């Protein structure tokens, strides 16, 4: 079965307080987006990579991806779900791995676990347990949640393309934060596999510094 990695990079990427969308900023020697694309492109079981970018971002995207085989760049939409839907049209039938451009490091073992898990479920996602105490609240706490029932869900997320297209048609309304949410709402079964701390999404300036340190220390 063909495996296509779909990297979504059409977010505004400005929560980190910079004008350039963060996916085009250099992390170590390469733009963030290029790290994410290369991490999946070099996996032996990944046949093709496609990338969704924001409208008007063709120039930085082409520069970031120079020399990589990613086919035609796809233009994304307002919400992440719009971007994924647009990207799916550029993916071959078979398995799709939907991945955030904001996650530069992807251990190959995670990709293997995801693809293997698809033999027993409609989808597969990498997860990690919660380390901190988790509570509801605002300026004061309004109840601690039992963290043993909670998981942090990362990307890449693996599906058969036809299932994911179906799930978006059935349950893609609103603003789902990932594809596993849409799949569950459509009544499909999503399996979990062990995730990895190195798959952490770079959201804050602090995340970025940590990733720079991991690269510099050659931990990645
Ligand atoms: O905003 P958030 O951190 O959830 O974004 C996760 C990923 O989805 C990022 O890689 C971002 O570029 C992408 N995204 C997108 N299109 C949007 C919003 C987010 O491709 N409209």
Q: How confident is the model at residue 161 (pLDDT cuts 50, 70, 90)?
A: very high
Q: How confident is the model at residue 16 (pLDDT cuts 50, 70, 90)?
A: low
The CB of 10 under 6 Å from ligand 1? The reply is: yes
Please state the atom number of ligand 1 nearest to the C-alpha of residue 10. 20
Domain of 98, CATH number, reads: 3.90.550.10
Query: Which residue's CA is the closest to the ligand 1 atom numbered 1?
Result: 11
User: Contact 11/103 with Cβ under 8 angstroms?
Assistant: no
The CB of 81 under 6 Å from ligand 1? The reply is: no
Range of the domain at 55: 3-216
CA 123 – CA 178 distance, rounded (Å) = 12
> Quick one: tokens of 16?
């980190």
> Which residue of 32, 102, 203 sits with most ligand 1 atoms within 8 Å of its CB, as the best mutation to test the pocket?
102
User: Tens of pLDDT along 176-216?
Assistant: 999 999 999 999 999 999 999 999 999 999 999 999 999 99
At residue 172, does pLDDT exceed 80? no
Q: How confident is the model at residue 173 (pLDDT cuts 50, 70, 90)?
A: confident
Number of folded domains in the chain? 1
CA 142 – CA 181 distance, rounded (Å) = 26
> Which residue of 5, 10, 25 sits with most ligand 1 atoms within 8 Å of its CB, as the best mutation to test the pocket?
10
Mention every residue, 6+ apart, whose C-beta is less than 8 A from residue 26.
Answer: 32
ipTM above 0.90, yes or no: yes
CA distances from 70 to 26, 85, 91, 155, 169 (A): 19, 17, 11, 19, 26
């Amino acid at each position: 079965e063909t495996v296509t990695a779909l990297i979504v990079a059409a977010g505004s990427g400005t929560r980190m307080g910079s004008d350039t969308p963060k996916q085009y900023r250099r992390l170590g020697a390469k733009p963030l987006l290029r790290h994410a694309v290369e991490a999946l492109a070099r996996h032996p079981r990944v046949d093709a990579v496609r990338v969704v970018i924001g409208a008007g971002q063709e120039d930085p995207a082409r520069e970031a991806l120079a020399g990589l085989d990613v086919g035609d760049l796809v233009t994304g939409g307002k919400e992440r779900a719009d971007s994924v839907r647009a990207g799916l049209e550029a993916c071959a039938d078979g398995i799709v791995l939907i991945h955030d451009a904001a996650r530069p490091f992807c251990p190959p073992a995670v990709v293997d676990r995801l693809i293997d898990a698809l033999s027993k479920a409609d989808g597969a996602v990498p997860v990690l347990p919660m380390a901190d105490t988790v509570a509801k609240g605002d300026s004061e706490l309004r109840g601690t949640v039992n963290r043993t029932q909670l998981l942090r869900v990362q990307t890449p997320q693996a599906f058969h393309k036809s299932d994911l297209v179906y799930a978006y048609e059935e349950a893609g309304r609103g603003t789902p934060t990932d594809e596993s949410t849409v799949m569950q709402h459509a009544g499909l079964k999503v399996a979990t596999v062990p995730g990895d701390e190195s798959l952490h999404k770079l959201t804050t300036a602090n995340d970025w510094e940590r990733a720079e340190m991991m690269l510099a220390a050659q931990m990645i």
